[in-house]
Amino acid sequence: MPLTIESAQNIFSNTQVPSPIPATIALFDQLSVDDQLALLWYAYTEMGRSITPAAVGAARLQFAEGLLKEIQQMSTEDQMQVMRELAQNADTHISRSYGFFSVNTKLAFWYELAELMKQGVVAPVPTGYQMSPGVQVVLDSIKKLDPGQQITVLRNTVVDMGFEPVAPSSDTTAEPLFERSEPAPTKINVEGITEPAVISYFTAMNSDNFETAIALFTFDGALQPPFQKPIVGREAIAQYMRAEAQGLNIMPKQGISQTLPDGSKQVKITGVVQTPWFGVNVGMNISWRFLLNPEGKIFFVAIDMLASPEELLSLRPR
Ligand code: ECH
């Protein structure tokens, strides 16, 4: 039977625990736009975890600089309006430019606005703003998440803002490199796993060697990032990795591997990943579900955020 992406998406489904992240984002989506912006301000400042200075160099802001200058010159009321329009995906020129930014430029843009808010140059909440009870509900729900899930909620709300261009920008060659605040592990040792493609995948990712990582996939192979649809084909995966997988420190811990009757293998691994944005300050609990073809090439890998740290150890069906 040929391998299909649809069937690959379901491997190890009996070991999957639903993540609390979509439910938290659904609550967030129900808030009014002013409540959403205020909540993000509270969550961002209250979390008190530091973004590593290496993450936001001048290079990362080069694409956002024009917009940030424009916003700084506006009246407080206009600044608020721009932020509302971004959060509401309005079709305005600022919201359109933002929509073309890469994920990391979007994050850097808001990081810079947060800095300007701390300096009092940009207002964090509209004057006379009254928090609705819903904000507290969402804040409480965010507080219950582990730190890796909290930064994922922040990231996903930022990614969803702006006016979505019809064709997403595909030029990732200009994406500035991320520096690691800590060197990534070079020797990968995953308890229970010996599959060469899987071990080589982690080693290549930890040195941002995406060409090597891609060569481990079949030509029609796919990679499914957390809460996203699969990205299909080597070139599309390479582009995605150049834009979003730089500077990750990947620390897989343990896994299980099962050979299927046709000789293909399904492998599930759990471990911790650090993003260059937060470095060692935040570890994200992650699982990888690989489907390898009978020749040992990666046909599919799904990256999932774990629902709880306990899940790191529960690789067997429930
Ligand atoms: C302020 C108030 C107004 C509104 C807003 C504000 C600013 C908010 C700011 C938020 C900044 C948030 C940041 C979040 C960063 C999160 C990063 C994450 C990264 C996860 C990466 C993973 C990678 C997984 C992968 C692996 C693979 O093997 C293959 C590739 C890949 C306060 C102004 C908005 C400033 C910086 C969650 C999981 C492991 C799939 C990539």
318 occurs within a structural domain? no
Q: Domain range for residue 183?
A: 5-19+174-313
Contact 241, 210 (CB under 8 A): yes
Contact 302, 227 (CB under 8 A): no
Q: Is 39 helix (H, G, I), strand (E, B) or coil?
A: helix
Report the residue among 116, 248, 286, 290 best suited for mutation to probe ligand 1: largest number of ligand atoms under 8 A from its CB: 248
167 occurs within a structural domain? no
* Residue where a domain stops, chosen among 94, 124, 159: 159
One domain for residues 49 and 101: yes
Residue 126, pLDDT score: 84
How far is residue 304 from each of residues 46, 119, 171, measured CA to CA in Å?
A: 26, 37, 26
- Residue 92 burial (CB count, 10 A): 16
Total count of domains within the chain: 2
The whole-angstrom separation of Cα 74 and Cα 42 is 23
One domain for residues 301 and 178: yes
Q: Find the angle CA(80)-CA(154)-CA(175) to the nearest 5 degrees.
A: 90
Nearest alpha-carbon partner for 289 in 19, 7, 1, 2:
7
Q: What is the sign of the dihedral through the CA atoms of 23, 100, 302 and 277?
A: negative
169 occurs within a structural domain? no
13 occurs within a structural domain? yes
* Residue where a domain stops, chosen among 135, 159, 183: 159
112 occurs within a structural domain? yes
- Residues in the ligand 1 pocket, defined by CB under 6 Å: 37, 40-41, 44, 51, 107, 110-111, 113-114, 117, 151-152, 154-155, 158, 205, 225-226, 244-245, 248, 250, 273, 275, 277, 284, 286, 303
pTM for this entry:
0.94
Residue 1, pLDDT score: 67
Please write the tens of the pLDDT for every residue from 207-261: 999 999 999 999 999 999 999 999 999 999 999 999 999 999 999 999 999 999 9
One domain for residues 205 and 147: no
One domain for residues 145 and 79: yes
Please write the tens of the pLDDT for every residue from 9-29: 999 998 888 999 999 999 999
For ligand 1, the distance from its centroid to the CA atom of residue 34, given in whole angstroms, is 22
One domain for residues 150 and 37: yes
Confidence grade of residue 317 (pLDDT, cut at 50, 70, 90): low
Angle between helices 103-118 and 234-244 (to 10 degrees): 20
- Six token digits for residue 233: 């084909």
Confidence grade of residue 269 (pLDDT, cut at 50, 70, 90): very high
* Residue where a domain stops, chosen among 159, 190, 225: 159
One domain for residues 280 and 205: yes
Domain CATH number, residue 188: 3.10.450.50
Contact 253, 272 (CB under 8 A): yes
